Chain A
Amino acid sequence: MYDYLLHIAVLCGIYVVLSISLNLAVGFTGLFNIGHAAFYGIGAYTSALLTLAGVPWWIALIASAIMAGLFGFMVGVPCLRLRGDYLAIATLGFGEIIRAVMKNWTGLTRGPLGLPGIPKPSLFGVQFASIDMYLLLVVVVAIITVVIVNRLVKSPFGRVLKSIREDEIAAKSLGKNVVKYKLQALTLSAMFAGVAGSLYAHYITFIDPSTFTLMETVLMLCMVVLGGAGSIIGSVVGAIILVILPEPLRFISLPSSAAAALRQMIYSVSLILMMIFRPQGIFGETSTTKKFDLRKLLGMKKPKIKLRTKKNA
């Protein structure tokens, strides 16, 4: 039971990284990317193949981020000229093409047979083989992701991303290089997905193409939308809720395919209800006056200037 709870916590951590990275593109920049699972998969395969070839884990981790980022960039160059739902379809297309390659390039990926025996990571002689150690690793990575993405969006850079989401033409008229910013946002988003993929691969120690489907992206999207597009805390909470929500189903004796179907129904219905009744999500920003403020909630004083920290105040 204890291990089971830790297992859930590890999954939560991995999905926090995924939903936050997707939110960077979808929620903050307005890029409707539904091929995110492909970047996740590229990260997983890169990391798995490299470590299986004997490359140290930490190098494989960095490589998976770079590889996923590279693909993000390559997908972005042509696709970011498309708007809204077309961007969505094009990224979906790319995602499926990448998955077709995973399935069919058997010489590299062993196709549908998958890659078994992916080694558990170790760093400076510390083994992350046990589940509690792995949880520690995942939590650290998740926190780093939250911090970095938070810094990205709460900065002049993030402000430009938001302005692109709001009105591309106006952003352009203020001299912003819209295409460059969109590309950067998508590349960064893909890099974090790649890191999540690496975390997943070394945790489960087996990967195959069936993990990185459209359904997986939809799940991440649910997390983003549930928490609120454009809200970091929302993505964290959304990921945790949607990992935990269907878990009780495990304790009802159901054939596994039925359980999976039920889980997907829960996701999809919650998403539809969310879009109709609270499209901004739990923590979505609609009005700044009602904006969720953790500091206020905890009775802390709000700093006058957002970026001022103790260091230079």
Chain B
Amino acid sequence: MARWTPERWRKLRVKSGFSIYYVFFLMFIYGPMFAMFILSFQGRRGGTSFPMRGFSLYWWEKLLEPSTVGDMQGAMGRSIILALMVMVITGLFATMLAMAFRKKFWFSNVLFYTILTGLMVPGVLLSLGMAILMRQLGIPAAWYTSGLAVHVIWALPFSYLVMMAVFNRFDSRLEEAARDMGASEWTVFKEITLPLITPGVVAAGLFGFTLSYDEFARTTLLSGADNTLPLDINASMTQRIRPTLFALGTASTIFSLLMISVFLGIYTILYRRSR
């Protein structure tokens, strides 16, 4: 076992310094969520700002009941399904594009900037442009068709750039060696490339999920007859805002934390097995 050399002490000091900074950072970015947690236990006659008027689980119970305006549970289900679809499609597209960009091809520059344009087009106008075109063609809007289409446009540049970072300095000698041994392109991809980039693909997909789940402007005219969650929440703000919203926010935070733990657990098990 190592002795406590000065070098080790120094490293420990640096590490704990960074750890403390990380904790402060977390407190900073979770900022408004603390108020949200507390106010989700607001008393029955209280609202979404301080003072607290008693303490109750009333708003948590309300979370399970149908909402007065809109359909929060349904909207949330739709938003999650939409985000999952966006996750899969952007993950796939971003990987394919980033692989293509490992080589030069004749309009790679144009394609590169076109992908980035998806980041830049203001959402309301993309939504408007699409809505008017679809109307001309007589295609009805729906969150799982037109909504999906523009969400992918929005999320793709993020996932794509993440994948570019993943393939950055990616070593192709392994693939080369496999090809020399007579493996087909598909085998090379499946056996060598994919395992190496999987974490990156997951990260790219995660970006897609996150961006789609929270997207409002691009969905306004393209979600059709059913609202996604951000549209639903936006509509509910034309009425009194109730602490139910905070209960929902707190619940989704807890759910996210649980998912991360589950994910970690699965990862640990798989990692052990692969050893």
A binds B: no
Interface residues in chain B, defined as those with a beta carbon under 8 Å from any beta carbon in chain A: none
Interface residues in chain A, defined as those with a beta carbon under 8 Å from any beta carbon in chain B: none
